[in-house]
Amino acid sequence: MVGMLAAIAIPNFAKARATAQMNHCINNLRQIEAAKQQWALEHQKKETDTPTQSDITSYLKNNQWPVCLAGGSYSINAGSEATACSFPGHQLENRPGWPER
């Protein structure tokens, strides 16, 4: 009986954990995108410009670079491209456009 319950519960827990990690990562990507756009507005940057991590960290919560809980790493990319996570499936679906000056 216990073995059957474990066989049912463990895959569900693993799936819930993976979903929570993905949602956390997507939220991090949104925060990085917002920081990137704020940096662009304040420094009058073009959508071909790419900020560095140190350029935008001050626009993030607690001035700390976010971490993907699944072990992925973030690529900031140019303004015309979405910030990306190296972990498969962790990506922004809809991202705001580049700010106009």
Q: What is the pLDDT of residues 18-76, one digit of tens each?
A: 999 999 999 999 999 999 999 999 999 999 999 999 999 999 999 999 999 999 999 99
| One-letter amino acid for residue 2 of the chain | V
Count of the separate structural domains present in the chain: 1
44 in a domain, yes or no? yes
Instruction: Note whether residue 53 is domain-resident.
Output: yes
**Residue 88 scores a pLDDT above 60:** yes
Q: Is residue 90 part of a domain?
A: no
Domain extent for 46: 2-85
Q: Is residue 95 part of a domain?
A: no
Question: Residue 78 pLDDT more than 70?
Answer: yes
What is the pTM for the complete model shown?
0.85
22 within some domain: yes
> Which among 100, 101, 70 is positioned nearest to 88, based on CA atoms?
70
Shortest CA distance to 74 belongs to which of 90, 61, 54, 93?
90
Confidence of residue 94 (pLDDT cuts 50, 70, 90): confident
Let me know if residue 14 belongs to a domain: yes
Structure-token pair, residue 35: 């920081």
Q: What is the pLDDT at residue 84?
A: 96
What gap in Å lies between CA 41 and CA 44, rounded to an integer?
A: 5
Q: Is the predicted pLDDT of residue 100 greater than 90, yes or no?
A: no
| 98 in any annotated domain | no
Q: What is the pLDDT, as a whole number, of residue 101? A: 54
